[in-house]
Amino acid sequence: MIDFHSHILPEIDDGAQSVEESLEMLRMLKSQGVNTVCLTPHYLAMDESPDEFLVRREEAFKKLKSAINESDEEFQTLLLGAEVYYYPGICKMEELKKLTLDGTDLLLLEMPMASFGEFAIREIEELTQSSQVQVVIAHIERCIKFQKKGTLERLLDCGVMFQVNASFFNSRKTKRKALNMFKEGTIHFIGSDCHNIKYRPPKIGEAVDIITDKFSKDSLDEFFNNQKEYLN
Ligand SMILES: [Fe+2]
């Protein structure tokens, strides 16, 4: 199982604040059956250049790797990525490709919790069609209620992918909507979006149990196989 969205890298954003916390989050995910973890710290273009971010990310990753090596435990496959916050003009950013997930063209794009508006939608379409990157919108469930009718369909039609957080399934309020989207095939990735062990711990196993209760093992296998394909 893949966790597509996490803030496990230590001391790089508002996620894990120590290596020990990172390791504990990985252990929690392992106990939930996750064998591949995408490490996606926040990237904000107004704060730093992609190169500056990549240096910081490498430092955090080194810290985590050496702690993993020192432990006698086996951990998951770790993939390096970023959660890139959208800004107007992003499609002109030449170094965007550097922020895609580990050797893939998948770009986890965080949109504001507001109506995307025509300009942003056009930019997302342009990015997706440029074949430079494949846009995956992060926790799309947070954005749905702000969008004009037809916006999500329009994005899906042009090839944009959607990631949802495990909490979309886990919350009683949104579970039905989440299961409907899963059934329609409009969810491409699930992420824990975990930030720490206390207030925003990884709970992806719970979401998978909810899906397993509702759908056949085959459809779940198909979902996870598709995810692997996208990562390849
Ligand atoms: Fe996130």
Please tell me the distance between residue 47's alpha carbon and the centre of ligand 1 in angstroms.
Answer: 17
pLDDT recorded at residue 132: 82
Nearest Cα neighbor of 181 from 129, 228, 133, 143 is 143
CA geometry: angle 55, 91, 195, nearest 5 deg: 45
Please tell me the distance between residue 24's alpha carbon and the centre of ligand 1 in angstroms.
Answer: 18
Please tell me the distance between residue 5's alpha carbon and the centre of ligand 1 in angstroms.
Answer: 6
Run of H or E residues at 2: strand 2-3
Q: What is the pLDDT of residues 188-224, one digit of tens each?
A: 999 999 999 999 999 999 999 999 999 988 888 999 9
Q: What residue segments make up the domains of the chain, in order of their start? A: 2-231
Amino acid at 102: D
Please tell me the distance between residue 7's alpha carbon and the centre of ligand 1 in angstroms.
Answer: 6
Neighbours of 175 (CB within 10 A): 16
Q: Over its length of 232 residues, how does the chain's per-residue pLDDT go in tens digits?
A: 999 999 999 999 999 999 999 999 999 999 999 999 999 999 999 999 999 999 999 999 999 999 999 998 999 999 999 999 999 999 999 899 999 999 899 999 999 999 999 999 999 999 998 878 999 999 999 999 999 999 999 999 999 999 999 999 999 999 999 999 999 999 999 999 999 999 999 999 999 999 999 998 888 899 999 999 999 8
Neighbours of 195 (CB within 10 A): 20
pLDDT recorded at residue 232: 84
8-state DSSP, 106 = E
8-state DSSP, 111 = P
| E-assigned strand segments in 15-139 | 36-39, 42-43, 77-80, 83-85, 106-110, 134-137
Structure tokens at 81: 């990525």
pLDDT recorded at residue 229: 93
Tell me if 101 sits within 8 A of 134, measured CB to CB: no
Cα 16 to Cα 201: distance, rounded to the nearest angstrom: 10
pLDDT recorded at residue 217: 85
Cα 21 to Cα 193: distance, rounded to the nearest angstrom: 15
Nearest Cα neighbor of 39 from 96, 80, 83 is 80
**pTM score, whole prediction:** 0.96
Please tell me the distance between residue 123's alpha carbon and the centre of ligand 1 in angstroms.
Answer: 21
Please tell me the distance between residue 6's alpha carbon and the centre of ligand 1 in angstroms.
Answer: 6
Tell me if 204 sits within 8 A of 32, measured CB to CB: yes
Please tell me the distance between residue 164's alpha carbon and the centre of ligand 1 in angstroms.
Answer: 10
Please tell me the distance between residue 221's alpha carbon and the centre of ligand 1 in angstroms.
Answer: 25
Structure tokens at 91: 């499609």
Tell me if 53 sits within 8 A of 44, measured CB to CB: no
* CATH (residue range 2-231): 3.20.20.140
